[in-house]
Amino acid sequence: MIVLFTDFGYAGPYVGQMKAVIAREAPGVPVIDLFADAPAFDPMASAYLLAAYWREFPAGTVFLCVVDPGVGGARRPVVLNASERWFVGPDNGLMAIVARRCGVAAATWRRIDWRPAKLSASFHGRDLFAPVAGRLGKGIPPSSSAIDPATVVGADWPDDFLRVVYVDHYGNAMTGCRASALPSGAVLLAAGQRLSRARTFGDVPPGTAFWYENANGLAEIAVNQGRADAVLGLDIGSEVVLEATG
């Protein structure tokens, strides 16, 4: 299958245009919409989000990853093979945390050398990355050259990122930090409020703010039957501090 991870949103033609290219290149291959609302213009926040979700997909999956504020510039187009999955997108850190968590032995980076006959300056998602992802979905790798992993953008980013990287439909604020990286009794400080850990929403009274390990392993801030983003004033990029270890 081919999995889409972008900051395009569903309004406008962009996701549809990429799907049309994939259908042309890989007819019959399933296309899954994972995120169309990854943090806009923010490869770093998006990198920790992508790293939390890819493992649910089987070996052979191709991830088409486009959060690309530097499109048309000097950043390299790359393909990452990690733990028997493919990741196609820009070298701007977006796939760096996935590669790190797989380990050097299970992750290989290559620069995409292939170019289409027509390549716009501003829509490489459609013109370059989607054709490559479609062909990988059929088992055809692109013409490419090896990259030293040490030169990849994001190679020096932290293993976990204790900031808000996503706010979901319910106002829950996901951080880029794995819950397993925090002490079990950790108290977090967000927007001036101390947050204790709970197992799930029903374990605290309605209206209470807390943090918990979400279904994909990230430390997430929530309000039972409320919106953490509104109650606490959180948004993508908001800092969260480990105040106490419990």
pLDDT in tens, 144-159: 999 999 999 999 999 9
Arithmetic mean of pLDDT, 39-43 = 98
How far apart (Å, rounded) are the C-alpha atoms in residues 71 and 84? 27
Domain with CATH 3.40.50.10790 in the chain: 2-151
Residue 105, pLDDT score: 86
- Report the DSSP beta bridge partners of residue 241: 189
- Max CA-CA distance within the chain? 59
Residue 246 has pLDDT above 70, yes or no: no
Residue 221, pLDDT score: 98
In the block, which residue shows the tokens 């920790």?
48
Q: Give the chain's mean pLDDT.
A: 97
- 245 band by pLDDT with thresholds 50, 70 and 90: confident
| Interacting residues of 22 by C-beta distance below 8 A, sequence separation 6+ | 2, 29, 31, 64, 130, 133, 134, 137
Among the listed residues 205, 185, 207, the one whose alpha carbon sits nearest the alpha carbon of residue 196: 185
- What percent of the chain has a predicted confidence (pLDDT) above 90? 97
Q: Residue 60 CA to chain centroid, in angstroms?
A: 18
Arithmetic mean of pLDDT, 64-86 = 97
Arithmetic mean of pLDDT, 171-175 = 98
Residue 132 has pLDDT above 90, yes or no: yes
- 174 band by pLDDT with thresholds 50, 70 and 90: very high
Strand-pair category, 2-6 with 31-35 = parallel
Arithmetic mean of pLDDT, 219-226 = 98
Arithmetic mean of pLDDT, 169-197 = 96
- What percent of the chain has a predicted confidence (pLDDT) above 70? 100
What is the tens place of the pLDDT at every residue in 87-121? 999 999 999 999 999 988 899 999 999 999 999 99
What is the tens place of the pLDDT at every residue in 19-40? 999 999 999 999 999 999 999 9
Domain with CATH 2.40.30.90 in the chain: 161-244
161-244 CATH fold: Elongation Factor Tu (Ef-tu); domain 3 (2.40.30)
Residue 62, pLDDT score: 98
Would you state the structure tokens that stand for residue 243, as one six-digit string? 């105040």
How far apart (Å, rounded) are the C-alpha atoms in residues 163 and 174? 8
DSSP state of 113: -
CATH class of the structural domain 2-151: alpha beta
Please state, in angstroms and as integers, the Cα–Cα distance from residue 149 to each residue in 6, 49, 177, 195, 238, following that order: 23, 21, 23, 38, 30
Residue 244, pLDDT score: 72
Radius of gyration of the chain (CA): 19
Would you state the structure tokens that stand for residue 237, as one six-digit string? 């990029």
